[in-house]
Amino acid sequence: GDSVTQTEGLVTLTKGLPVMLNCTYQTTYSPFLFWYVQHLNEAPKLLLKSSTDNKRTEHQGFYATLHKSSSSFHLQKSSVQLSDSALYFCALSDGSGYNKLTFGKGTVLLVSP
């Protein structure tokens, strides 16, 4: 079946530094990947999504590029802010047309002053 792997459980950084959160996936379908962000005591919200190979997609200063050759969709930001502290999930759609998502375990990003 489908699977999503996020290798880091916790990433701690100082404000202003760049970040990359890893996401790799396995699927037999044509991949459609998502990044969701969940701030403390809030609902998860969509950050960005893509199904286009080798095309960078951006939103709110975050960006990611789907690389089908390496089955990856890493999330990056050039300069993290305190407000970026949150739980980040990578998710893969199953291709059924009903958007059943398989989520990774999530990465907590903690940004310090």
Partner 1 sequence: GGIITQTPKFLIGQEGQKLTLKCQQNFNHDTMYWYRQDSGKGLRLIYYSITENDLQKGDLSEGYDASREKKSSFSLTVTSAQKNEMAVFLCASSLGGYAEQFFGPGTRLTVL
In the complex, the residues that contact partner 1 under the rule CB under 8 A are 9, 32, 42-46, 49, 51, 89, 91, 93, 97-101, 103-106
Shortest CB 15 distance to partner 1, Å:
26
Which of 55, 105 has the CB closer to partner 1? 105
Amino acid at position 70, single letter: S
Phi, psi for residue 86 in degrees, rounded to 5? -175, 180
Which of 17, 24 has the CB closer to partner 1? 24
Shortest CB 79 distance to partner 1, Å:
26
What are the C-alpha distances in Å from 9 to residues 22, 67, 86, 112?
Answer: 10, 22, 12, 17
Closest to 89 (Cα-Cα) out of 44, 52, 25, 57: 44
Shortest CB 67 distance to partner 1, Å:
18
